[in-house]
Structure 1
Amino acid sequence: MQLRKAFKFEIMPNGSQIRRIKQFCGCSRFMFNRALAWQNEQYEQDNSFKFSYTKIANLLPQWKKELVWLKECHSQVLQQSLKDLESAFKNFFQQRADFPKFKKKGLKESFRFPQGCKLEQQNNRLYLPKIGWVRYRNSRDIVGEIKNVTVSQKCGRFFVSIQTEFEYEIPTHKGGEIGIDMGIARFATLSSGEFFEPLNAFKTYKGKLAKLQRQLKNKVKFSQNWQKLKEKIAKLHHKIANCRKDFLHQTSSKISKNHAMIYIEDLQVSNMSKSAKGTAEAPGKNVAAKSGLNQAILDQSWFEFHRQLDYKTQWQGGFLVAVPPQNTSRTCPCCSHTAKENRQTQANFECVECGYTENADVVGALNVLVRGRAIVHA
């Protein structure tokens, strides 16, 4: 099968290359905003909203004549920015995302080359059109034919994401089957009894983050000290995200390599983490407790863990099955008796019918395993 995979590395550009990269980011952002503004103007004129990449791409030569500095940017970078706008409109019309918004300087700065890039892994360098040869931190080998290269900037550092395509033969997985129960006290509990402790990256650093944000409040906006604190806060957020990603990748890789058939709860995270404030006429109850629970749920990144398990299991030749999570921790795995009284505490399970006792998360994982088998054999 044809497999597309991305390899991300940090690059080390020199001074002139950094200026070029920032200039390309600005041109890409400007072209996205210019095309979005033009599209909005067309809608106001005739009230018909049909986005056409070809029509807007034909306006590029005219815009380059009006704004000469656009010629300094690579033409493919500008075209790919219009492609991104086309994708944004497709997602909007298919109700997968909100209406496209104008891009803001300093947020998600990036641009993409669909072709023209060269790679020398033995010399740890990469050629980017109109930028030149750039050194990168070569942490692993790149496999396959390069399809596109995305350059991004975050927290004063520069990164490159190289997407490749190659033939991949799916191996035959020799592992067994397992059920997974997701939780707060235990991040993931397996039906075998093994469990993974949560990392809680945001909880670990939220005290330091709050301190920096209080200091930022007392600074003069846009002053040098204000900008320094903004950079510190951005770097801390970046560190929290990296810690979480590293934990999720290590956990999902370990589970997918050792088990061929994985059953996991199909949790609706967006519904589970909704606010309990309510309205002025009908205010909510236990708002503070629900807010803390929502924060803990989002800190676990259950959806991202599910997504990583899905594609990594396919790479290993296994299967992932999503199971309805209703009453998984209230049903006895021995006698199948379902009752709220079976789970008297958050951690302990004791069946009121047959007296079976076990950790509640292990019981949930066992029931997920049973339900998953029923779905597969149905």
Structure 2
Amino acid sequence: MQRLQAFKYELMPTGEQRRNMRCFAGSCRLVFNKALALQNERYEQGEKKLGYAGLCKLLTEWRNSAETAWLADAPIHPLQQALKDLERAYTNFFAKRADFPRFKKKGQRDSFRYPDPKQIKLDQSNSRIFLPKLGWLFYRNSRRTLGVLKNVTVSQACGKWFVSIQTEREVEQPVPQATSAIGIDMGITRFATFSDGKYLAPLNSFKKHEARLRRAQRSMSRKQEFSSNWKKAKARVQRIHSRIGNARSDFLHKASHAISQNHAMVCIEDLQVKNMSRSAAGTPDAPGRNVRAKFGLNKSILDQGWSEFRRQMDYKLAWNGGYLIAVPPQNTSRTCPCCGHVSAENRKTQATFVCVDCGFEENADVVGAINVLARGHRVAACGEPVQSDRSVKQEPTEAI
């Protein structure tokens, strides 16, 4: 089977290369925004949307125009890739997989991609890579790149530049090393509770850095915008955000790797995190209740990274020969695993489950994980359809 995998490294560019990369990212951002503005204008006038070929003709005009002649300094393929990204964004929007494309802002996810592998040279023995109009760039070679190079993406984050090398290689059909199955109940007090009674404690990376981040943001708000001191304060805020994200990513990767290595089938709840973390403020006509408490709950939910954890589990299990099953989360913590009695009275407290019918007593999260595993077995054995009402707002008490 073919495996697509990306290898990300930190670049060590020279001053000139750093300036060129900022210019190239800005050029791609301008092309994307100009094309998006043009498409919006054509829509308002009742005209048909331009395709990728039509946008490429306009790109040639922009590069030859006196107003945007500096676009010719950037490599052409990353500029064309920006138009392809816009076309893909429209496709995802019409397929209801994403929101409508938005304009890009300077300093937010600055990146550009080289889609043609023939123009790229990778010298792993000397830890360097050749990119058009940038030359040879050294990078921190933390691990060896495997497979045939397909494309390269250069991105900027927290003042540092990174290169992501996507490769493709042929691997043998994976066979799971383990044969066990396990159910997982996601939560806040316990990040992941397993059906065998074990659990993972949460990291809460944002909560650990929240006070420090608050002080840095307060200091930044007192500076004159775009002054030298304001830029230094902004860099401090970015470093804290980067540390929070890196810590969370490291925790999720280690947890998902260990679970995918030790289990052939993993059953989890099909949680709709976007609905669960929706604001309770309401509208001026119909204001919400307990807004402050719901705000704190939303912050705790988003600090866990449930969606990213599910994404990592999905592909890591596939790489190891296992598979992931997502089941509806309704009443998983209110159903007795012994007699099957379903009642909200079974869970009078957040942590304890006591069945009002048969008297079975256990931790509520463990009960939820056991029921998730049972539903997963029914899906795997009988093909029971897994459906969850995405239009109904889920109760956060089912996940915490």
> 1: CA distance between counterparts of 2:364 and 2:249?
27
Residue 128 of structure 1 corresponds to which residue in structure 2? Answer: 131
Contact 1:88 1:100 in 2 (8 A): yes
Residue 390 of structure 2 corresponds to which residue in structure 1? Answer: none
Match of 2:125, SS? helix
Contact 1:173 1:318 in 2 (8 A): yes
Residue 250 of structure 1 corresponds to which residue in structure 2? Answer: 254
Equivalence map 1:77-92=2 (5 Å): 77-92=78-93
Match of 1:122, SS? coil
> 1: CA distance between counterparts of 2:224 and 2:321?
56
Residue 25 of structure 1 corresponds to which residue in structure 2? Answer: 25
Contact 1:51 1:89 in 2 (8 A): no
1:24 Cα deviation (Å)? 0.9
Residue 12 of structure 1 corresponds to which residue in structure 2? Answer: 12
Contact 2:177 2:261 in 1 (8 A): no
CA 1:78–1:184 in structure 2 vs 1: closer, same or farther (change >3 Å)? same
Name structure 2 gaps, 5 residues minimum.
383-400
Residue 241 of structure 1 corresponds to which residue in structure 2? Answer: 245
- Say whether residues 1:281 and 2:280 are aligned partners: no
Residue 71 of structure 1 corresponds to which residue in structure 2? Answer: 72
2:123 alignment partner AA: E
Equivalence map 1:32-111=2 (5 Å): 32-45=32-45, 47-66=46-65, 67-111=68-112
2:142 alignment partner AA: S
Residue 263 of structure 2 corresponds to which residue in structure 1? Answer: 259
Q: 1:202-255 CA deviation, whole Å, 9 max, x = no partner?
A: 111111111112222222222211111111111111111111111111101110
> 2: CA distance between counterparts of 1:63 and 1:287?
49
Question: Aligned to 2:303, which of 296, 299, 304?
Answer: 299
- Say whether residues 1:209 and 2:213 are aligned partners: yes
Contact 2:42 2:49 in 1 (8 A): no
1:92 Cα deviation (Å)? 2.1
Q: Return 329-338 or 253-262, whichever deviates more.
A: 329-338
The TM-score with structure 2 as length reference comes to 0.91
1:326 alignment partner AA: Q
Q: 1:244-274 CA deviation, whole Å, 9 max, x = no partner?
A: 1111111011101100011111111111111
> 1: CA distance between counterparts of 2:328 and 2:13?
49
Equivalence map 1:365-376=2 (5 Å): 365-376=369-380
1:80 alignment partner AA: Q
Residue 186 of structure 1 corresponds to which residue in structure 2? Answer: 190
> 1: CA distance between counterparts of 2:169 and 2:31?
32
> 1: CA distance between counterparts of 2:295 and 2:71?
47
Q: 1:104-158 CA deviation, whole Å, 9 max, x = no partner?
A: 2111111111121111111111111111111111111111111100001111100
> 2: CA distance between counterparts of 1:77 and 1:94?
25
Q: Return 367-376 or 60-69, whichever deviates more.
A: 60-69
Match of 1:230, SS? helix
Q: Return 129-138 or 47-56, whichever deviates more.
A: 47-56
Contact 2:181 2:265 in 1 (8 A): yes
Give the RMSD, CA atoms, in angstroms: 1.4
- Say whether residues 1:344 and 2:344 are aligned partners: no
Question: Aligned to 1:168, which of 163, 166, 171?
Answer: 171
> 2: CA distance between counterparts of 1:348 and 1:59?
64
1:350 Cα deviation (Å)? 1.7
Match of 2:243, SS? helix
Q: Return 330-339 or 197-206, whichever deviates more.
A: 330-339
Match of 1:153, SS? strand
- Say whether residues 1:329 and 2:333 are aligned partners: yes
1:58 alignment partner AA: K
1:344 Cα deviation (Å)? 2.2
- Say whether residues 1:153 and 2:156 are aligned partners: yes
> 1: CA distance between counterparts of 2:379 and 2:156?
45
Match of 1:123, SS? coil
The TM-score with structure 1 as length reference comes to 0.96
Match of 1:139, SS? coil
1:44 Cα deviation (Å)? 4.2
CA 1:44–1:349 in structure 2 vs 1: closer, same or farther (change >3 Å)? closer
Contact 1:51 1:86 in 2 (8 A): no
1:279 Cα deviation (Å)? 2.6
Residue 364 of structure 1 corresponds to which residue in structure 2? Answer: 368
Same amino acid, percent of matched pairs: 57
1:174 Cα deviation (Å)? 3.2
Q: 1:29-84 CA deviation, whole Å, 9 max, x = no partner?
A: 12112222333343344x12323000111223322221332222111121111111
CA 1:344–1:39 in structure 2 vs 1: closer, same or farther (change >3 Å)? closer
Question: Aligned to 2:359, which of 342, 351, 355?
Answer: 355
> 1: CA distance between counterparts of 2:76 and 2:84?
13
Match of 2:274, SS? helix
CA 1:169–1:315 in structure 2 vs 1: closer, same or farther (change >3 Å)? same
